Amino acid sequence: MKRYIIERNIPGVDALDAGQRQAAAQTSNEALNKLQGKVAWLHSYVVADKTFCVYMAENEDVIREHARLSGFPANKISEVSSVLNPETAHN
């Protein structure tokens, strides 16, 4: 599976309370279950009016299908080509 970053424009997402965040995660998990292992959600970063979600998926079409099933937009999908972090300096 490939790693992707999905940018979702969701006005007000940064103001969701704990219960709303929990409901959103449950909605996403239900859509993931319907896709039977073709996609996995690793985590998301929430910023003002956007989320940046990290997923593992077979391809972009599966990510689009998750967006359709969950009702969460996938405004931009980018395949990750490599990862840079502090450890990269030691390689």
What sections of 1-91 are H helices per DSSP?
Answer: 18-34, 60-70
How confident is the model over 9-46, as pLDDT tens digits? 999 999 999 999 999 999 999 999 999 989 999 999 99
Domains recognised in the chain with CATH numbers: 2-83 (3.30.70.3090)
Which CA distances in Å does 52 have to 77, 88, 89, 90?
A: 10, 22, 25, 28
pTM of the model: 0.90
**pLDDT tier, 55 (very low <50, low <70, confident <90, very high otherwise):** very high
